[in-house]
Amino acid sequence: MWDEPGTYVETDHDFASTFSHGWDHGIGETITALLNHGMRIDGFVEHRSVPWDALPGNMTKKDDGEYRLTSAAELVQLTLTPQVTRIT
């Protein structure tokens, strides 16, 4: 997590909200690692919920016990489930 003014796009606009969250492993890195280790990808599901309060103050616990982003939950995947088979 970090707070940095501005954006990667050149603009003269001053942003009121500049706090960001980052994850260490992108989808491409994850898929490449699986393929490099002799796996065949049979399925890949993105989830918009997690079983813990991953971003305190920004998540709401739902009736199913999972936490979802309070705002714009449909826009961000929080976890990934690859289904793979070892082929080598």
Tens-place pLDDT, residues 1-37: 778 777 766 788 888 888 877 777 888 998 999 999 9
Residue recorded with tokens 């501005």? 6
Instruction: Specify the pTM.
Output: 0.59
8 lies in which domain range?
A: 2-86
pLDDT tens digit sequence for 42-88: 999 999 999 888 888 999 999 999 999 999 888 888 888 999 999 97
What are the φ and ψ backbone dihedral angles of 46, each rounded to 5 degrees? -100, 135
Distance CA(18)–CA(84), nearest Å, equals 38
Domains in the chain: how many in total?
Answer: 1
